[in-house]
Structure 1
Amino acid sequence: MARTSLPIVPESVHTVFAEEYRGLRPRAPMPALEIKFRRFTSLNTTIRLRDGQLIVRLSDLLESAPESVHRAIAHILLAKLYRKPIEPVFADRYRRYTQSEAVSRQAERIRKDRGRKVLTSPQGHLYDLDEVFESVNTRFFFGLLGRPTLTWSAHVAKRMLGHYDAAHNTIVVSRVFDRPGTPRYAIEYLLYHEMLHLKHPVTVRAGRRCVHSRAFQAEERLFPELEQARAFLRRL
């Protein structure tokens, strides 16, 4: 991922951060500010305090955001850093902007262009994801879903068990499943869930991203071994 910074950050952004700092810490000395926009692969924002200096890095996707959104970002980052309550109005403003249809599409395009997906193989020691996909596709989708790239994760992940990456049209499954003792219905349910994301893409309504729509949830409940599979995933 490229880390080249963009041109000088507008003074207005520095002013916004300084004003929000003063609002949160009215009696504290004002630290030096170093703010830069970076070519991140997503809407990343970071802040840290080093040697009395506040170092802020913002995604270049946020450079053209209105001042009100820059103010919301400043408030949220500073509040988190200094463990202050985040004002709901700022959280809502940031969420509405970043989850708007235009920004979401731009973020997905940038992530596809700049991001690099780590792929291993669909063939595991115990399960072949290609074979499981085709079996689930035939049973539940009449074989009509186009097969995305399928891959086992590079590492044994227990928090991110599986996910569908729309930007790269890829389903990644944690290697924690590719071992003796994993029931077939568990890996089938995990793929079934991610395949539903293919059928029911994320939508944005009134500034909110809808990842699991009512139609998605209704269809998910049709999986025969749903409760057994969820119980197995919880044990992981």
Structure 2
Amino acid sequence: MRRQIVLDTETTGLNARNGDRIIEIGAVELLNRKLTGNNFHMYINPERDSEEGALAVHGLTTEFLSDKPKFAEIAEAFCTYVKDAEIIIHNAPFDVGFLNAELARMNLPSFSDQCPAITDTLVLAKELHPGKRNSLDALCGRYEISNSHRKLHGALLDAELLADVFLAMSRGQNSFEIDMADDDAPKVQEFVASDQPVGEITVLAAVDDELNEHETLLNGLDKQIRDKCIWHTTA
């Protein structure tokens, strides 16, 4: 069973190397591309104030966070939750850098070592939509995912939105079957057998150039859905 964790963090500022800390972690679980409801969400006391710009983004005040657990108190539960999963993050270097810094303070293996399978949806979006805005808000608009309730950034809310965006971006055709209502079903023309002889049927085989073009197209589909498309899996 393929387990994926869509993850987001909020922080006191933009630079973990300058001592900024994680103040919120939100994550949702996907099993076989379906949300399970097994979420991870924690507010964290960073033991410092948020920068003014960051506070305007997430709205989590020092007073609100003062009675929340410190990262060291939630680290074990968090590492257990993400273990052996593929991690999906938008702009992964930012969040991974902060997680690595927090774990380094505890002399624990880095997040990168504990979770080597990391998919960056920002990289994926840039491949699919070169030259376009690929922020989470922009992608929600592009894939018609409602984010009207997103007034401030929140790690769990953003992880939920990102999960919907990721599923939309990586959606492939899983079946040749087409579900249609009876009224929309195509009409099948009936043919009556005839005694007249049927002419010789001519079969034109694809030439090498056409076969190569077809394989290039299928490989492109594989890359877009980050898996094998149905024409490869049924070949």
- Relative contact order, higher structure (CA 8 A, sep 6+): 2
Regarding TM over 0.5, the answer is no
Report the TM-score when normalising by structure 1. Answer: 0.21
Q: If you compute each CA radius of gyration, which structure gives the higher value, 1 or 2?
A: 2
